Amino acid sequence: MLNLAVLLEDSARHHPDRAAVVLGPQRLTYAQVDAAANQVANLLVDHGIRPGDKVALTCPNLPYFPVVYYGILKAGAVVVPLNVLLKGREIAYHLKDSEARAYFCFAGTPELPMGAAGRAGFDEAPGCEHFFLIDAEINADRGKASDRPTTFATVQRDETDPAVILYTSGTTGQAKGAELSHSNLVMNALTCNRLFGSKPAEDTHLVVLPLFHSFGSTVNMNAGFASVSTLVLLPRFDAAAAVAVLQSEDVTFFAGVPTMYWGLLNALTDGVDVDRIARNMRVAVSGGSSLPVEIIKEVRERLGVSILEGYGLSETSPVATFSDPHSEPRPGSIGIPVWGVEVKLIDPEWNTVDGVDEIGEVAIRGHNIMRGYYNRPEATAEVMRDGWFRSGDLARRDADGFYYIVDRAKDMIIRGGFNVYPREVEEVLITHEAVSLAAVIGVPHPSHGEEVKAFVILKPGASVTEDELVAWGREQMAGYKYPRVVSIVPSLPMTATGKLLKRELS
């Protein structure tokens, strides 16, 4: 029996007064976070939530996130974290697809009214019975979470029972929920701490990665709580604000995507105590896409730390490979398999590709592999065989066993560390009354890595401008998905069978 919430509970038991979560002047100890999570668990039980029920959560990097996340787990339920940028129609899809019975949603800000979008999505998902609004309190139709007892007997689950459902589109189509078990996530968190040499009750993480994403939730939150680290939260990445926190909180651990490191370096201006930051920084971690060699060199020169690069997917909890912290980093490499995980390269028929520097698809096996896609046995069967998961990413392996990604999954766009799947964007664009056909690709962008660009054919007699389509897309899709660039064209390149030739678009 096991419950992922043990990562919080054990640390609260042994280090109750250690700061667990920091947001500006607000500081919560491990005892306080654990007690608040117990109140959430009691709230859920009072509303009829049972072990195995799905409970969704929309919340930025605020203390409420870990409180609700672990509270859901304590009740024996399954956490379904949602991207805070999703619109109402997208939220409704996720609530219905995951069969969520309850939904916690942060009220948001005037600029990002999550509560309004969340309520709209909830109203379109009749199977979701309870809407809990997170504002100054966690409010429910049967009272506030703060009115509940601060003690709770955590519901123990089988190690292989689902703990979290993370939504991912794979390579095409609508989002699918990757079911991750309690053991998947506990093992991945402990493996991270083993890899990074985490020091119990000594490390301080600056958390700029969104906690609803697998990278942030595992590498920062779960691994951080397991090692009694202090998590300093930034609700939204801002390079200058991040640098200020690196100084004031004596941060020892930073995880980010390449564009964040680019931003940090640009924010190390006059007046910044770079020596203080470098003196405390012990671990720097990057994922999402390959780091430019220049950034690796400059971070080492200015901050005195070598960035460790890793690779993984939502389906792998997520960490699968990482730079070897005991050897010189190899720029461009995603490293070697982490403890307890196997990696190999395969061809389309699952045959092993053995040659040095020969390209094949990355396949992964180990304690980190998901149970499968929720309610999608056929989709699961397409990517899993004999315990192996095929990633859709192409890589090569050098003579020393280090892996290098050479191409991303077909058609996938990575914008600022977020996966964008063209087919999903195309399907939304086609719902516009003036649009007949759309093709979406990724184009190079200096800071985001890639930008989303759409080529659109209008219906006969229809009239709409490119700027109008961009504005419409902004209202229909999450901020990282909608195309910032739209080109209205008379035709699109196609094969003889009518298939779009996207490689001819730019």
Question: Which residues neighbour 321 within 8 Å (Cβ) at sequence distance 6 or greater?
Answer: 310, 311, 312, 334, 335, 336, 337, 338, 341, 343, 403
Mean pLDDT of 135-147: 86
Mean pLDDT of 303-314: 94
* 40-44, 298-302, 390-394, range with greatest mean pLDDT: 40-44
> What is the SS3 assignment for 461-472?
CCCCCHHHHHHH
DSSP, collapsed to helix, strand or coil, labels residue 394 as strand
Domains assigned to the chain: 6-13+26-157 (3.40.50.980), 413-504 (3.30.300.30)
Q: For residue range 250-290, list pLDDT tens digits in order.
A: 999 999 988 889 889 989 998 999 999 999 999 999 987 77
C-alpha closest to that of 43 among 71, 15, 11: 71
DSSP, collapsed to helix, strand or coil, labels residue 406 as strand
Q: Which residue has the higher pLDDT, 170 or 203?
A: 203
Average pLDDT of the chain to the nearest whole number = 92
Question: Which residues neighbour 468 within 8 Å (Cβ) at sequence distance 6 or greater?
Answer: none
pTM of the predicted structure, to 2 decimals: 0.86
As a whole number of angstroms, the distance between CA 83 and CA 170 comes to 16
Percentage of the chain lying above the pLDDT 90 cut = 76
**Is 397's pLDDT higher than 90?**
yes
Give the pLDDT band of residue 409 (cuts 50, 70, 90): low
Q: What is the pLDDT of residue 250?
A: 96
As a whole number of angstroms, the distance between CA 477 and CA 427 comes to 11
CB–CB of 485/441 below 8 Å?
A: no
Q: Which residue has the higher pLDDT, 405 or 470?
A: 470
Give the pLDDT band of residue 496 (cuts 50, 70, 90): very low
Q: What b/e string do you get for 397-433 counting C-beta neighbours within 10 Å, with b at 16 or more? A: beeeebbbbeebbeebbbbbbbbbbbebbbebbeebe
Q: How many CB atoms lie within 10 A of CB 333?
A: 23
CA-to-CA dists, residue 199 to 195, 287, 343, 383, 505, angstroms = 11, 22, 28, 37, 50
Mean pLDDT of 113-134: 96
C-alpha closest to that of 131 among 43, 69, 70, 4: 43
Burial of residue 286 (CB within 10 Å: 0-12, 13-18, 19+) is: buried
Q: What is the pLDDT of residue 417?
A: 84
54: left (phi over 0), alpha (psi -120 to 50) or beta: beta
Mean pLDDT of 52-57: 98
